[in-house]
Amino acid sequence: MRQVGGPAVPAALGLLDESGPDGVSVREVARRAGVSPGAPFRRFADRQALLTALAERIPADCEAWRIAAVERSEGSATRAFGLGFVRCAIRHPRRFPLVKPLVFGPRGPAEPDARLTAIETAFTGLILADQRAGDLRAGDPAVVGLAGQALVHGLSRMIVDGYLPPESAERLAEQVLDTFGLARQLGTPSGLWAAGTRGGPRRAAPRTARPPGGRPLRAPLRVTLCAVARDPRSL
Say which CATH number the domain at 212 has. Answer: 1.10.357
Neighbours of 106 (CB within 10 A): 5
Reply yes or no on whether the pLDDT at 47 is more than 60: yes
Whether residue 210 lies inside any domain: the answer is yes
Please tell me the predicted confidence (pLDDT) of residue 206. 38
Q: Of the candidates 103, 60, 82, 68, which has an alpha carbon nearest to the alpha carbon of residue 230?
A: 60
Residues 43 and 4 sit within 8 Å (Cβ to Cβ): yes
- What does the pLDDT average to over 54-81? 86
Write phi, then psi, for 193 (nearest 5 degrees).
-115, 150
Q: How confident is the model at residue 145 (pLDDT cuts 50, 70, 90)?
A: confident
Biggest CA pair distance of the chain: 64
pLDDT: is 194 or 24 the higher one?
Answer: 24
Whether residue 29 lies inside any domain: the answer is no
Average pLDDT, the chain: 73
Whether residue 85 lies inside any domain: the answer is yes
Angle, helix 96-104 to helix 47-72, in steps of 10 degrees: 100
Whether residue 25 lies inside any domain: the answer is no
Whether residue 138 lies inside any domain: the answer is yes
Reply yes or no on whether the pLDDT at 218 is more than 50: no
C-alpha to C-alpha distance for 104 and 91, rounded to whole angstroms: 22
Residues 232 and 133 sit within 8 Å (Cβ to Cβ): no
Could you tell me the residue range of the domain that residue 203 belongs to? 58-234
Q: How confident is the model at residue 104 (pLDDT cuts 50, 70, 90)?
A: low
Q: How confident is the model at residue 165 (pLDDT cuts 50, 70, 90)?
A: confident
pLDDT: is 181 or 50 the higher one?
Answer: 50
Please tell me the predicted confidence (pLDDT) of residue 192. 35
Please tell me the predicted confidence (pLDDT) of residue 17. 93
Q: How confident is the model at residue 169 (pLDDT cuts 50, 70, 90)?
A: confident
Whether residue 47 lies inside any domain: the answer is no
Whether residue 220 lies inside any domain: the answer is yes
Of the chain, the percentage scoring pLDDT greater than 70 comes to 67
Reply yes or no on whether the pLDDT at 13 is more than 80: yes
Q: How confident is the model at residue 16 (pLDDT cuts 50, 70, 90)?
A: very high
C-alpha to C-alpha distance for 29 and 9, rounded to whole angstroms: 8
C-alpha to C-alpha distance for 128 and 235, rounded to whole angstroms: 16
Reply yes or no on whether the pLDDT at 84 is more than 80: yes
Please tell me the predicted confidence (pLDDT) of residue 107. 53
C-alpha to C-alpha distance for 27 and 44, rounded to whole angstroms: 13
Whether residue 229 lies inside any domain: the answer is yes
Reply yes or no on whether the pLDDT at 116 is more than 50: yes
Q: How confident is the model at residue 187 (pLDDT cuts 50, 70, 90)?
A: very low
Neighbours of 94 (CB within 10 A): 17
Amino acid at position 138, single letter: A
- Residue ranges in 92-140 assigned as alpha helix (H): 96-104, 110-133
Q: How many domains is the chain partitioned into structurally? A: 1
